[in-house]
Chain A
Amino acid sequence: MKALAARRHHRLAPVVLLLLALLTTGGVYAALAPSTANAETVSTADIETGKKLFQANCATCHGANAEGTDGVPSLVGVGAAAVDFQVSTGRMPMQMSGPQARAKPAQFNEEQTAALAAYVASLGAGPAIPTDEQVDATQGDPSNGMALFRTNCAMCHNAVGAGGALSEGKFAPALWETSERNIYQAMLTGPQSMPVFNDANITPEEKRDIVSFLVEQREGSAGGNALGALGPVSEGLWAFVIGLGLLIGAAVWIGAKSS
């Protein structure tokens, strides 16, 4: 007690207090806020399997009870959606530290991922994994999705989701290969540098519109090869490589004739 009293004027004391206050508020909110309805029934057996998987694969960084450690976030209250997104895209367990966790082939199968998600969800309420209907691109309106995407997402992910650069080696990944479910979950949980777009911000229907817009982009361009959909830089590069390359080649050929 004496040691605590001695340090109460430490310059970091307010920060610690603030963090404690926030943690309390967050904890109370998480306990009292209505949790998202989860269609899947989660058995205690799943949670037990998930806990074992967690302790074997995740606890080193996230702590034995997912409480987080220095620089590693707590997973209490992140919800099943966040776990499903991170684990099914292979971002977690993280391959190596770097500017951001890279996607890689998933390390767990669907059952294991679901068990992990169930375990983390049992720690505190959070966004649930979206249902198949919520991410069904065919039910969305791509036109509205386009309007929402370019206002909220295109500044990082490029106009059609071809990806873009962020600061210090971080980046917004291309969305060509990302599954509809993962796109939805990313909006819901805001992984890494991405902001959270909660259901008050972008409603579930609007999220589906965005998914629908992105899925439509995968059909390619009406104009031919989309050249990576990267805009004028790649167009300029190909203008030189293919266009000027062919034309100068032809000029050399014509010049070589008869001379």
Chain B
Amino acid sequence: MSTATHDTKREAPAKPTTPVGKAADYLDQRTSIGVAVKEFARKVFPDHWSFMLGEIALFSFVVLIASGFFLTMFFEPSMALTTYEGEHPANMHGQLMSVAFASTLDMSFEVRGGLLMRQIHHWSALIFMASIVVHMMRVFFTGAFRKPRELNWIVGLVLMILGLAAGFSGYSLPDDVLSGNGLRITDGVIKSIPVIGSFMSYLVFGGEFPGHHIVPRLFTIHIFVVPGILLALIALHLFLMVLQKHTQYPGGGRTDKNVVGYPAAPVYVAKMTGNFFIVAGVLTLMGATMAINNVWNYGPFDPSPVSAGAQPDWYMLFLEGSLRLMPGQGTEWVIGGFTLPLNVLVPAVVIPGILFTFLFVYPFLEARVTGDDKEHHVLDRPRNKPVRTGLGVGFLTAFIILALAGSNDLIATHFGLSINSITWVFRFLLFVGPVFAYYITKRICLGLQRKDRELVLHGHESGRIVRFANGEYIEVHTPLDEQERWLRVNYEAPAPLAIAPKTDARGVKRKGYGSDKRWQGLSRFFYEDRVEPVTPAEVEAAHSHGEHDELTGSERQTVEAGVGTTSQEH
């Protein structure tokens, strides 16, 4: 349509002849949409595979909406009791269950394509959350959350939390034993909150757990409230992305003032369409071949049974692990007749609170300790911000350890280990692992930066050993080309904050010095260890260092970094 609009614009007097052209002209005369289409079609986006991770999340969401729409046609969110009369599955025939569970079975075994749709929906939910997390990792490690994108990072975080809410509410709808166990844990977590806990629980469940209201309530949340807010925030997320322009990876010619890439139409329209079909195809393939959440394995909800291997979906597994790691004895305090269940409160409220607070605060914290209020549109290479990369890896380590702790029984059975030992190891690892991971990652980053410096100053080792007439052996180094060098020298290595002295000229203690001092301390933690980028002067020095046997001189713009190379090569 966009091309058609262009044509009508360019050849103003000529009337469009094709049906598409006519339709576009009709629309354009009434809405002037051609201007917007032209603008958007020419919008330039930088190209990199990692920029498609968010797209995967977006397209899984589209698949979620489509398959979820199908499921609502058949699902009955009611906790009224019924006896299942269906023949399949045989192990459910004649059992007493809620209408919600019966309609889930009916949808899976009687409705044509119903089971496929259910499985596509569930796999899409897992992939939706997985791609969001991987997308967040890309944004975090490349520093794409820096000004002006801090707000979009917050929008993204809220999207992730809404994704958790959507997953959790949908997971509980079929009213099976496994999801009921999850609800029971939720009930326990709500009740662990001091003072208001038990009132909150009664409010949420409409009385004592499980009650008769939770499934219809979660249904409304799952198909109306959460997807509605998700849609609105996704629109805002994308709008901000277009408005602020996409970030780009560092490279020759890429600055904070330009965007290097291809126009949206036709290149990205084609790529995005292709990617959409790939995502939809993979999700359908998974739904068709891999069983997921076969609720009839667990049976209709009954508060008494809990089967071995009862876990939530992967994105909630860290909470499960946190609960499993918390020692139970001595952590439930009774104060003046009121129970303070720290054994639930700490793992289920405090620990996720810490994790999410880190994510919310980090962009602002980093900007503050960097003393940075510039706009950034060129991404960082993770190695060039060693502390940020280290903190990110430490955070992921904590998350993964918690998720593994949530799977401790499966680790025990599949690797022939003792579940008690695993739990103890994870208890220590939760505290030691992230620190260790942070330290190792930071050292690796610094090492890579030094390697970059070395390369810029001295070039690639070519493997050619040359002997001079005087008997001296040297290895020939080939200099880096411009693109390679640009990538390695164009970054900032901020120094810790400099602050005003403690006292003013007349020796009076300055207000706010203590606060400044603390910020400086944090800033030191971030930027004390750093590898400065190679300056032109240093390159020059390395170049002239090689001049003692440089004979022909270099006509190239590039600086000869290899020691005495050119003369030997000629």
Residues of A near any B CB (own CB < 8 A): 99, 142-143, 145-147, 150-151, 154-160, 162-169, 171-172, 213, 216-217, 221-227, 229-240, 242-244, 246-248, 250-259
Contacts and interface: CB of A to CB of B under 8 A. Distances in A.
Max chain B Cβ within 10 angstroms of own Cβ: one of A159, A217, A224: A159
Given A224-B288, A244-B134, A254-B275, A235 B127 contact: no
Contact of B286 (A165, A167, A232, A242): A242
Name the prevailing secondary structure of the B interface residues: helix
Contact of A147 (B47, B95, B274): B95
Contacts of A237: 314
A213 B91 contact: yes
Contacts of B51: 255
B309 A230 contact: yes
A169 B412 contact: yes
A32 B298 CA distance: 43
A216 to B, nearest CB: 6
A246 to B, nearest CB: 5
B291 A223 contact: yes
B90 interface: yes
A168 B422 CA distance: 10
Given A143-B91, A233-B309, 19 more contacts: A158-B307, A159-B177, A159-B178, A163-B308, A166-B419, A221-B291, A224-B291, A232-B178, A232-B317, A233-B407, A235-B126, A243-B286, A246-B282, A247-B131, A248-B49, A248-B56, A250-B275, A258-B47, A259-B48
A240 B130 contact: yes
A257 to B, nearest CB: 7
B309 A164 contact: yes
B314 to A, nearest CB: 3
Given A213-B91, A231-B178, A236-B313, A155 B127 contact: no
B409 A222 contact: no
Contact of B312 (A151, A156, A169, A232): A232
A239 B314 contact: yes
22 contacts: A151-B305, A155-B305, A159-B308, A169-B412, A171-B413, A221-B291, A225-B289, A227-B292, A229-B294, A230-B309, A233-B317, A235-B122, A235-B314, A243-B283, A247-B127, A247-B279, A247-B282, A248-B56, A251-B49, A254-B274, A255-B47, A255-B50
Contact of A244 (B55, B91, B130, B290): B130
Contacts of A250: 275, 278, 282
B286 A145 contact: no
A165 B311 contact: no
A7 to B, nearest CB: 37
Interface string B404-434: 0011111011001111100000000000000
A257 B272 CA distance: 13
Contacts of B410: 165, 230, 233-234
Given A142-B90, A236-B314, A227 B291 contact: yes
B115 interface: yes
B109 interface: yes
B163 to A, nearest CB: 14
A224 B119 contact: yes
A216 B91 contact: yes
B262 interface: yes
A254 B127 contact: no
Pairs of residues from A and B, 5 with the lowest C-beta to C-beta distance, nearest first: A164-B308, A236-B314, A255-B49, A223-B291, A154-B307
Given A216-B90, A225-B291, A227-B291, A243 B309 contact: no
Contact of A243 (B94, B130, B418): B130
B271 A257 contact: yes
Nearest to B292: A235
Interface of A is mostly: helix
A259 B286 contact: no
Contacts of A224: 119, 288-291
A251 B306 contact: no
A259 B268 CA distance: 12
A105 B330 CA distance: 46
Contacts of A143: 90-95
A222 B108 contact: yes
Nearest to A153: B307
B447 to A, nearest CB: 26
A21 B432 CA distance: 53
A246 B56 CA distance: 11
A223 B290 contact: yes
**Which of B131, B178, B293, B409 is the most central at the interface, judged by chain A CB atoms within 10 Å of its CB?**
B409
A232 B168 CA distance: 13
B128 to A, nearest CB: 10
B527 interface: no
A216 B89 CA distance: 10
Contacts of B278: 247, 250, 254
B564 to A, nearest CB: 37
A224 to B, nearest CB: 5
B145 interface: no
Contacts of A248: 49, 53, 56, 134
A222 B298 CA distance: 15
Nearest to A150: B305
Interface in B296-321: 297-299, 302, 304-315, 317
A236 to B, nearest CB: 3
A175 B279 CA distance: 37
A225 B315 CA distance: 22
Interface string B219-245: 000000000000000000000000000
Contacts of B94: 143
Contacts of B262: 258-259
B384 to A, nearest CB: 22
Contact of B310 (A147, A157, A231, A236): A231
A147 B299 CA distance: 8
Contacts of B178: 159, 231-232
B56 A251 contact: yes
Contact of A223 (B91, B292, B313): B292
A166 B408 CA distance: 11
B291 A99 contact: no
Interface in B59-107: 88-95
Nearest to A209: B91
B281 to A, nearest CB: 9
A239 B122 CA distance: 10
A15 to B, nearest CB: 27
B123 to A, nearest CB: 6
Most buried by B among A160, A164, A239, A250: A239
Contacts of B309: 158-159, 162, 164, 230-231, 233
Contacts of A146: 91-92, 95, 299
